Chain A
Amino acid sequence: MIWLDTLIQGLLLGGLYALFAAGLSLVFGIMRLVNLAHGDLIVLGAYLILGIGTALGLNPFVAALIALPLMFLLGWLLQTVLLNRVLGDDILPPLLVTFGLSVVIQNALLEQFTADSRRLPVGPIEAKSLAFGSVSVGVMPLITFASAILVILCLNWIFYRTAIGRAFRATSDDSVTAQLMGIRPRRVFALATGIALVVATIAALYLGARANFDPSIGPARLLYAFEAVIIGGLGSLWGTLIGGLIIGVAQAFGAALKLEWQILAGHVAFVLILLVRPRGLFPRAHD
C-alpha cells in the first residue's frame, strides 16, 4: 500500500511541475523561445502574491487574482520591449537575454526581500487532508493537481478552439506566411508570453503555498519545467502534463527508496525517456 501512496503523492507533485512547465511549453511551442528566466518569473509571481496579500491583508488565493492581470501585463511588456527585439533565426540572443533576465530578477528579489525563506499563508487548508481508504491525500496537493489539469484544458481550448489559438499555431508554423493572413507575429508573441506568465502566477501560488521559497530557487524550478516539456515533446501541452507527472512520480519513488535520491530519480527518469524517445513522448508531427 505504501507504493500506492507513493504513486499518488508523486502524481500530485507532478501536477505542480506541470504547472511550472505549462507556460514554458506554451512559449516554446509558439515562438521557439526557451525562456531561461521562467523559474525566476514563477518566484517573482510568488513574491508578488505575498506582497499583495501582506499589503492588503488578503488571503493568497485572493491576492493571486490581483497578481494574475499584473503578471499578464508584465509578460506582454517583457515580450514587446525586450524579447521581440532578440527573436530571430539565431537562438543564442534570446537565450542570453533570458539568462541575463534570470540574474536580474534573482538579484532584485534578493535586494528587496533578502535571502530569507518565505511561504504563502493559505490558512488551515494547508494542513487538511482527505482519506481514501488507507491513503491520505493533502487538500492543497489535490487542488494543485486539479488546477494543473484545468490549466492544460484551458490552454488546449485556447490553442485549438479559438481564433487567437489558430493565430498562435499559424505563427508557430510559418511567421512570414502568417503575416500574409494579417497576423502580427510580435503581438501574438506578446499575448503568448502574457498568458504564460498568468500560468506561471498560478504555479507560483501553489509553489508558495506548499513549500518555502526564496529568491534563489527559480533555476531549479526551471530545470523541472524544462525536463517536463522535453519529456512530453516540445510544444505538446498534454505531453507537458504527462512529463510533469513522470518527474513527480520518479521523484516520489526515488525519495521512498532513499530520501537523497528524490531529485536524482527525476533527472534519471528524464535521461532514460530521452534515450528511448529522443523527441519526447508526444512530439509534433511537423516539427
Chain B
Amino acid sequence: MSVLLEVKDLTAHYGDFQALFGVDLALKQRETLAIIGANGAGKTTLMRAITGIARVTAGTVTLDGGRIDQLNAPDILRAGISMVPEGRRLFPSLSVEENLLIGAHARKGSGFWNKGRVCELFPVLSERRHQPSTSLSGGQQQMVAIGRALMSNPSVLLCDELSLGLAPVVIREIYAAFPTIRESGTAIIVVEQDIGQALQVADTVHCMMEGRITLSGRPDELSREAIHDAYFGITHS
C-alpha cells in the first residue's frame, strides 16, 4: 500500500517552548496507526500540528504527495484530514444533528459518509438528533464527534484520546466502529493513553516521550517490556 500521510522531521513550538523534536511517521492507505504515550509526551501537539492548529516550525507534512504543513486548519480539512479533538469539543449551541451537519460544512460533492451513514454506524444518534449535544452521555458525545469528523469524508481521520473519561464498555462500542470506517477508505491515526486498546486496533504503534517518537513497530513485534520502557522513559544501562 502506498503512503498517504507522511510526517518528516516535524518540529512544533508553543511560543518559545519546543513541543515536538523531529517527529517522523508514515500512514498508509486504510491503515490504523496508534500513538501512545504519557501525558505531555507531545501526542496532542502532533495532532494539532498535522491539522494546522499548532504552528509547525520545521519539517514537512505531506498528504498524497502534496505538502500541507503551511496550510491553515480549514484548508487542511479540505485537503482531506479531519480530527476528533480531545474532549470531543462539540458545539453546545448546536443540536446533535447540527453538530453532524457542521462537519460537512466544507464538503464539496458526495462521498461515502453522510448523516444517514453516520446514524447507521451509531444508531443512538438518530434517536437523539434533535437533542442539544450537551444533553448526551460522554460516550454518545464521542460518537457525535466521530460522526462529525467523518461528515467531511476525510482520507485521514485523527482521533485524539477517544477513551478519555469513558467506561470500558463504551470504549469498546466506539472502537467497534473502526472496521467500518477503514472499509470506507479512511485511514486512521488514534492517539491513546490506553495501551491495550491502542495495540488492539492498530496496524502500527508509535510511542512518544517528551516530543519524540521513542519506539515504533507492529503490535505483534513489540514486547510489553519495550512498550513499558518507552512509555515511561526507562533506559537500561
A180-B91 contact, Cβ under 8 Å, with A163-B101, A167-B105: no
B73 neighbours in A (Cβ, 8 Å): 176, 179-180
Complex contact A170–B74 (CB within 8 A): no
Does any Cβ of A come within 8 Å of B211's Cβ? no
Complex contact B77–A181 (CB within 8 A): yes
The residue of chain B having its C-beta at the shortest distance from the C-beta of A29 within the complex is B93
Q: Mark B81-123, 1 if CB is under 8 A from A, else 0.
A: 0110100010111100010011101110000000000000000
Interface residues of B in 41-83 (CB under 8 A from A): 51-53, 72-74, 77-78, 82-83
The residue of chain A having its C-beta at the shortest distance from the C-beta of B75 within the complex is A182
Interface residues of A in 164-188 (CB under 8 A from B): 166-167, 169-170, 172-174, 176-184
**Closest Cβ of chain B: how far from A72's Cβ, in Å?**
22
Does any Cβ of A come within 8 Å of B152's Cβ? yes
The residue of chain A having its C-beta at the shortest distance from the C-beta of B92 within the complex is A286
Complexed CA–CA distance, A278 and B134 (Å): 24
Complexed CA–CA distance, A170 and B90 (Å): 9
Complex contact A170–B91 (CB within 8 A): yes
A172 neighbours in B (Cβ, 8 Å): 93
Complex contact A166–B85 (CB within 8 A): no
Complex contact A182–B92 (CB within 8 A): no
Complexed CA–CA distance, A60 and B148 (Å): 47
Does any Cβ of B come within 8 Å of A128's Cβ? no
Say which residue of A173, A180, A181 sits within 8 Å of B92 (CB atoms).
A173
The residue of chain A having its C-beta at the shortest distance from the C-beta of B98 within the complex is A166
Complex contact B72–A169 (CB within 8 A): no
Say which residue of B72, B91, B93, B98 sits within 8 Å of A177 (CB atoms).
B91
**Closest Cβ of chain A: how far from B147's Cβ, in Å?**
12
Complexed CA–CA distance, A248 and B104 (Å): 43
Does any Cβ of B come within 8 Å of A284's Cβ? yes
Complex contact B83–A180 (CB within 8 A): yes
Complex contact B85–A177 (CB within 8 A): yes
Q: Which of A172, A181, A284 has the most CB atoms of chain B within a 10 A radius of its CB?
A: A181
B51 neighbours in A (Cβ, 8 Å): 180
Interface residues of A in 237-287 (CB under 8 A from B): 284-286
Interface size in chain B (residues, C-beta < 8 A): 26
**Closest Cβ of chain A: how far from B25's Cβ, in Å?**
20
A173-B94 contact, Cβ under 8 Å, with A179-B53, A181-B105, A183-B105: yes
A173 neighbours in B (Cβ, 8 Å): 91-94
Say which residue of B78, B85, B98, B101 sits within 8 Å of A182 (CB atoms).
B78
Complexed CA–CA distance, A173 and B148 (Å): 16
Complex contact B89–A169 (CB within 8 A): no
A180-B105 contact, Cβ under 8 Å, with A173-B92, A286-B92: no
Complex contact A179–B105 (CB within 8 A): no
Interface residues of B in 128-184 (CB under 8 A from A): 134, 148, 152
Q: Which of B85, B94, B101, B102 has the most CB atoms of chain A within a 10 A radius of its CB?
A: B102
Complexed CA–CA distance, A183 and B85 (Å): 16
Complex contact A166–B102 (CB within 8 A): yes
A167-B92 contact, Cβ under 8 Å, with A176-B53, A180-B82: no
Say which residue of A166, A176, A181 sits within 8 Å of B106 (CB atoms).
A181
**Closest Cβ of chain A: how far from B146's Cβ, in Å?**
13
Say which residue of A174, A284, A285 sits within 8 Å of B91 (CB atoms).
A174
Complex contact A163–B105 (CB within 8 A): yes
Complex contact A182–B91 (CB within 8 A): no
Complexed CA–CA distance, A285 and B82 (Å): 29
Complex contact B53–A166 (CB within 8 A): no
Say which residue of A169, A180, A183, A284 sits within 8 Å of B94 (CB atoms).
A169
Q: Mark A105-147, 1 if CB is under 8 A from B, else 0.
A: 0000000000000000000000000000000000000000000
Q: Which of A172, A179, A286 has the most CB atoms of chain B within a 10 A radius of its CB?
A: A179
Q: Mark A148-167, 1 if CB is under 8 A from B, else 0.
A: 00000000000000010011
**Closest Cβ of chain A: how far from B79's Cβ, in Å?**
10
A177 neighbours in B (Cβ, 8 Å): 85, 89, 91
A176 neighbours in B (Cβ, 8 Å): 53, 73
Complexed CA–CA distance, A184 and B93 (Å): 18
Complex contact B105–A286 (CB within 8 A): no
A166-B152 contact, Cβ under 8 Å, with A180-B85, A181-B77: no
Can you pick out 21 interface pairs between chain A and chain B where the beta carbons lie within 8 Å of each other? A166-B98, A166-B105, A169-B93, A169-B94, A169-B98, A170-B102, A172-B93, A173-B92, A174-B91, A177-B91, A178-B91, A179-B72, A180-B51, A180-B73, A180-B85, A182-B107, A182-B152, A183-B106, A184-B72, A284-B93, A286-B134
Q: Considering the complex of A and B, which 8 residue pairs feature the smallest CB-CB distances, nearest first?
A: A182-B106, A179-B73, A286-B92, A182-B77, A177-B89, A173-B91, A169-B93, A170-B91
B residues near A, CB below 8 A? 51-53, 72-74, 77-78, 82-83, 85, 89, 91-94, 98, 101-103, 105-107, 134, 148, 152
